[in-house]
Structure 1
Amino acid sequence: MAKRKRRVFTPSFKADAVRLCKTGDRSVAQVAKDLDLTETALRAWIKRADEEGPSSAPPNELTSPEREELTELRRKVKRLEMECEILKKPAAFFAKENT
C-alpha cells in the first residue's frame, strides 16, 4: 500500500467534522470513513475542540491559554509603564538642575 501524502485541513473543515460527530447519529469511525480521514486525527480534533470550549464560539475568539497569556502580558505592560513613569521623574529633575 502506497503512503498517502500529508494533507492540510482548514479550521472550518475540522469544526464541521467535529460537529458531525457530536450532533449526528453516526459514530466517529463512520464519519472518519465518510470524510476519508483517519479515526485518530478526527478523535484528536474532537479532543482539542472539547478542551477549547463550546463549538459555538467564533473561530477568532481566544482560547483559555491565550486568554491567560493576554492577562499576564497586560499585567507586565502595566508594570513596565509604571517603571517608566518612575524613571521619568528623576530624569526631569536632573534636566532642570542642569539648565
Structure 2
Amino acid sequence: MGQHRRNYTDDYKAAAVERLYEPGATQGSVAKELGITGTQLKTWRLEIEAFGSVEAKRRQQADAAELLRLRKDNKRLAEEVEILHKASAFFAARAVKP
C-alpha cells in the first residue's frame, strides 16, 4: 500500500514554525510533537524566512502565475497582429491590380 501525501495549510505551517521560537523548542522536538519530519519543518521555516511570511509567498506565487499568463497572452496577440499585417498586405496588393 502506498502512503498518502498529507497537505498542510499555510496557517498550519506558519504556526508550526512559530513554535520553533518558543523557549526550549528544538526542530526535532516540535516536529515530533506535530508528527512531521524535521526536514519538513526546516523547509517550512526557510520558505517563510525567504519570503517574509506565508502571505508574501502566496502573493509572489500568484504574481508569478499571472506574469506567465500575461506573457502567453502577449505572445498570442503578437502572432495575431502579424497575421493581420500579412493579410492586410495581401489584400492591398490584390486591390492595386487592375
User: What TM-score, normalized to structure 2?
Assistant: 0.59
Matched-pair identity in %: 21
Higher helix proportion (structure 1 or 2): 2
Q: How does 1:61-76 map to 2 (within 5 A)?
A: 61-63=59-61, 67=64, 70-71=66-67, 74-75=70-71
Q: Whose relative contact order is higher, 1 or 2, with alpha carbons under 8 Å and at least 6 apart?
A: 2
Q: Does 1:15 align with 2:11?
A: no
Alignment partner, residue 29 of structure 1:
28
CA-atom RMSD in angstroms? 3.3
* Deviation sequence 1:63-84 (CA, Å, 0-9, x none): 39x62x6546534532442332
**Cα distance change of structure 1 residues 40 and 82 upon mapping to structure 2, 3 Å threshold:** closer
Structure-2 separation of matches of 1:45 and 1:56? 9
Partner of 1:87: 83
Question: In structure 2, how many angstroms separate the alpha carbons of the residues matched to 1:27 and 1:62?
Answer: 29
Higher Rg: 2
| Count of aligned pairs between the two proteins | 90
- For structure 1, the 5+ residue unaligned runs are none
